[in-house]
Structure 1
Amino acid sequence: MAKRKPKKRTEDYKKQVGQVPGAVIYTGKKDFNPLLMESFDYNSDFCNEKQLKSVEEAFAYKATDSISWININGLNNVDEIEKIGNHYHLHPLVLEDIVSTNQRPKIDEYEDYIFIVLKMMYYDAEEKIVSEQVSFVLGSNYVLTFQEAEGDVFDPLRERIRQGKGRIRGLGSDYLLYALIDSIVDHYYAIIETMGNKIEDLEDSLFEGLTKDEISTEIQSLKREVLKVRRAIFPLREIISRVDKSESKLIDQKTLHYFADVYDHIIQVSDTIDIYREMIWGLMDMYMTTISNRMNEVMKVLTIIATIFIPLTFIAGVYGMNFDNIPELHYKYGYHIVWGVMIIIFIGMMYYFKRKKWL
């Protein structure tokens, strides 16, 4: 018996099986992304944006008096990730979680920094959900973000930093962390809005009686999308709740009000996702009911046709027997009489079916 080839999802998890805890092993699928780093160093008076050419350029931001955001793309470059981690004194288990892209969203508090893992999601041009793990390290005057590949949802925040809009440049690194998380949560709203439109379109199609194979495929695809978003958003409630109860000196009490607002948004998105999940199950039931109703209509028509032909077949069978002494066999108008009786039976049965509203 041939051995079944394991699925790619299973292979991703097997990459870390048996490894020493703290081993920095990349488990993602994007193995050929170059290391791209950018930095925003700012305070209320200035903002310096820079594309970093080497890991060593990121080291200087740890000791500045300003606020620094260092964004690292390309988790497959594990050697460079380790260099950054060693300079910022990140725990080996933190580095392991950063490059392990199958992490569940979580928060870990250390003495000098707070580590958070989230799932960033958005729709691409083909309206397919792009899901990417983003890791955050909050320090006293910096925030490190680690992404698997280039492309994210932080462009509006970058523009706010450049132009000094809002409170971003007047507050600390904890507010910067809030702004980054808020950008991710805001895109969950865009996702559920698109999902809501898809559900309404499917409902309209099912109400119109459309039962194409594509509809069942769309329902299954939408169900997978809802479950993916739910797995990402559900642990966020615990993370923000932990932040709200944290006694870390890295988070100012004033910033907790902003995290409370994010928590409210997460609850709203989570409740909407649960509603959509129930609606999708309802769509599947509606689809199966529509299929069943159409099958019943077909069976009803076939049953009526068969019922009509039963007496006609009986009459034709009787007068088709090869006996010499059939009474009407030699009657001059026997053929026409038989046809008349059959037509009368047909009309009578049609009238009866109409009265019973079976037609």
Structure 2
Amino acid sequence: MGQTHKNCGTFEWLDLEKPKKKELLELTAPFHIEIKLLEDSLQHGHLPKIEKQDGTTFVIIRAYSADPSHNYSEVTKLTNKIAFVVSSDRLITIHQKPFEFLDALFQKEFDDPEDLMLGILQQMLSTYQAPLDWLSDKIDEYEKEIFVNRHGKISVQALYFQKSKARISKKILQLTQNVLNQIQVNEIHFSTLQDLKETCVNLILHFDEVIEDATSILNTHLNLTSQKSNEVMKLLTIFSAFFLPLTFIVGVYGMNFENIPELKWTNGYYLALGLMALVSVLIFIWFKRKKIM
């Protein structure tokens, strides 16, 4: 277990990384925190939540922690959480994975636990910006491939994972938004909290746009694939229309009956070829008039 303690003057900050249940209970025993809340902080896949108990606020928020290019479609692989236990004179942060921005925040000064918590939340929300930019760039590449290059060669599997990442991120942010709406801070921090709410809403809208674009691209890709299949079937049908009557003529005159009337014709071969050519021309003219070709 990693443990970092900082005395910030007016309050204390205790950061616990990957604690065991027994260790966590021992360290937090003086603060009389409900055991169910501590168990929630140890659950790897727990979703964002907020609870209040006797002047103490318990908050869980998830930050995006995966590489944007990795094809994951699970909450626990895309994000990791930090649990906050906030009171008037202390802040306890509990997390299973390391976060680089926590080390940077240890070097800064904060007025009170709320100020520190809001600073950490700001850094956690900012982790969604890089995957959002990456997803937006990928969507732009797919749109260019389909609508500009007109090749329609995109990876449906990759598009599925990108849509899944955007969908999961949006749901996590919506839960985070609900938590932010319930957090109560001193008047001095109203502006900071409002900025966090606006950032969260902005991220949700952009991820929603990515989802809509991904759905549109997928539908367009499927339509183009279906259109290409239809064009191939159309071409095969045209060839069949030409060769079916020709095959019939060849089949008739290929029968081995002795008394076929045209069998003794001197120019029968050329007449058969002429008949087949005439049939082909008539079929071609009919297709042209019907605008099939």
Aligned partner (choices 308, 311, 327) of residue 242 of structure 2: 308
Tell me how far apart the structure 2 counterparts of residues 343 and 103 of structure 1 sit (CA, whole Å). Answer: 75
Cα distance change of structure 1 residues 184 and 79 upon mapping to structure 2, 3 Å threshold: same
Aligned partner (choices 98, 119, 123) of residue 179 of structure 1: 119
SS of alignment partner, residue 28 of structure 2: helix
Is the 1:234–1:270 contact (alpha carbons within 8 Å) kept by the matching residues of 2?
A: yes
Return the structure number with greater relative CO, CA threshold 8 A, min gap 6: 2
Aligned partner (choices 210, 218, 223) of residue 152 of structure 2: 210
Tell me how far apart the structure 2 counterparts of residues 122 and 199 of structure 1 sit (CA, whole Å). Answer: 21
Q: What's the CA shift for 1:189? A: 2.1
Structure 2 counterpart of 1:81, one-letter code: L
Is the 1:153–1:183 contact (alpha carbons within 8 Å) kept by the matching residues of 2?
A: no
Q: Which runs of 4+ in 1 moved over 6 A?
A: none
Q: What's the CA shift for 1:262? A: 0.5
Report matched runs for 1:1-359 at 5 Å. Answer: 35-42=1-8, 65-75=9-19, 77-124=20-67, 126-128=69-71, 130-150=78-98, 152-154=99-101, 158-159=103-104, 161-162=106-107, 164=108, 169-207=109-147, 208-211=150-153, 215-243=155-183, 246=184, 251-350=185-284, 352-354=286-288, 356-359=290-293
Tell me how far apart the structure 1 counterparts of residues 245 and 262 of structure 2 sit (CA, whole Å). Answer: 18
Is the 2:68–2:130 contact (alpha carbons within 8 Å) kept by the matching residues of 1?
A: no
Structure 2 counterpart of 1:69, one-letter code: W
Is the 1:119–1:133 contact (alpha carbons within 8 Å) kept by the matching residues of 2?
A: yes
Is the 2:84–2:94 contact (alpha carbons within 8 Å) kept by the matching residues of 1?
A: yes
SS of alignment partner, residue 328 of structure 1: helix
Tell me how far apart the structure 1 counterparts of residues 71 and 93 of structure 2 sit (CA, whole Å). Answer: 24
Q: What's the CA shift for 1:334? A: 1.3
Unaligned runs of 5+ in 2: 73-77
SS of alignment partner, residue 149 of structure 1: coil
SS of alignment partner, residue 65 of structure 2: strand
Tell me how far apart the structure 2 counterparts of residues 114 and 126 of structure 1 sit (CA, whole Å). Answer: 35
Is the 1:211–1:291 contact (alpha carbons within 8 Å) kept by the matching residues of 2?
A: no
Q: TM-score, normalised by structure 1?
A: 0.73
By percentage of residues, which structure has more helix? 2
Tell me how far apart the structure 2 counterparts of residues 134 and 264 of structure 1 sit (CA, whole Å). Answer: 21
Cα distance change of structure 1 residues 300 and 125 upon mapping to structure 2, 3 Å threshold: closer
Structure 1 counterpart of 2:81, one-letter code: Q
Tell me how far apart the structure 2 counterparts of residues 328 and 350 of structure 1 sit (CA, whole Å). Answer: 27
Count of aligned residue pairs for this structure pair: 286
Tell me how far apart the structure 2 counterparts of residues 315 and 270 of structure 1 sit (CA, whole Å). Answer: 68
Tell me how far apart the structure 2 counterparts of residues 154 and 69 of structure 1 sit (CA, whole Å). Answer: 15
Q: What's the CA shift for 1:127? A: 3.6
Q: What's the CA shift for 1:352? A: 4.6
Tell me how far apart the structure 1 counterparts of residues 47 and 136 of structure 2 sit (CA, whole Å). Answer: 25
Q: TM-score, normalised by structure 2?
A: 0.87
Residues 267-326 of structure 1: CA distance to partner in whole angstroms, max 9, x if unpaired?
111122222222222222222212211211111111111111111012112212333443
Is the 1:116–1:136 contact (alpha carbons within 8 Å) kept by the matching residues of 2?
A: yes
Residues 216-253 of structure 1: CA distance to partner in whole angstroms, max 9, x if unpaired?
2112212221222122111112211111xx3xxxx321
Over aligned residues, Cα RMSD in angstroms?
2.3
Unaligned runs of 5+ in 1: 1-34, 43-64
2:75 alignment partner in structure 1 = none
Tell me how far apart the structure 1 counterparts of residues 210 and 258 of structure 2 sit (CA, whole Å). Answer: 74
Percent identity reads 22
